[in-house]
Structure 1
Amino acid sequence: MSAPRGFVRRHPWVTLLLLAMAALIVWLWQQRVALQAFPDIISAYTAKEYCSCRYVTRNPAEYCRGYVKQYVPGTLSDDAATRTVTASGMGRSNRAMWLGERQGCRLLSTP
């Protein structure tokens, strides 16, 4: 019974580090669904916001690229002929398309 108490007293920083790591693991486990959805959210947000910025509000392409810039690396391609935007990042890709004056932009379903 005294062995664990002796370890805690002899190594308080190691004990705190182990407790912090255990708390982090528990938190990550509770947030696993949200963390799995994060890559899709980033690319979908980028595609939809760029499409809206470019084709609904008719801003210049460079302005819209700066508007949707993320700290997460990704690529953005704009097909002006079809008014379709494809955004990729963190292994996921999403597309948005301008549908018209009254509909605006919409995310396209991915196969």
Structure 2
Amino acid sequence: MSRRPWVVRHPCASLLLLALLGLLGWGWQERVALGAFPDILSAYSAKEYCSCRYVMHNDAEYCRGYVRQFLPLSELRDEAERKRVSASGLGRSHSAAWLGERQGCRLEP
């Protein structure tokens, strides 16, 4: 009696295992970029909301909807009197502030 190899007996499981190994290899190669993603989420959201609200002069609810349609946030705080926005997501927070008509909004360090 001839036994076939495991790979031949379980082709779907073999393909799934191969795909998982490929995904792990890709994740390892992109580990720096993947590690930066939580910062990108909150920084992008703070800057986009600030620009929407204070550069384009849109309504606050419109800008909240605009920012949230792309990325999920845990908090978005708009300090209208200071024209400053803080966004938090995936455990990271960033702020952006309106500098003026010619400068627009800038991320704060």
Q: In structure 2, give the amino acid aligned to 1:56.
A: V
Equivalent in the alignment of 2:65: 66
How far residue 59 of structure 1 moved from its aligned partner, in angstroms, is 0.8
Equivalent in the alignment of 1:100: 100
Q: Distance in 2 between matches of 1:102 and 1:71?
A: 28
Change (3 A) 1:71 1:104: closer
Q: Which runs of 5+ in 1 are unaligned?
A: none
How far residue 31 of structure 1 moved from its aligned partner, in angstroms, is 1.3
2:24 maps to 1:30: no
Q: What pairs with 1:1-111 in structure 2 (closer than 5 Å)? A: 6-69=5-68, 70-109=70-109
TM-score (norm 1): 0.88
Q: In structure 1, give the amino acid aligned to 2:93.
A: S
Runs of 4+ in 1 over 4 A off after TM superposition: none
- Give CA deviations for 1:80-105 in whole Å, capped at 9, x if unaligned: 11111000000000000011111111
Q: Distance in 2 between matches of 1:55 and 1:79?
A: 11
How far residue 55 of structure 1 moved from its aligned partner, in angstroms, is 0.7
Q: Distance in 2 between matches of 1:103 and 1:72?
A: 28
- What RMSD, in angstroms, separates the aligned Cα atoms of the two structures? 1.6
Q: Distance in 2 between matches of 1:97 and 1:73?
A: 18
User: What is the DSSP-based 3-state SS (H/G/I as helix, E as strand, rest coil) of the residue aligned with 1:67?
Assistant: helix
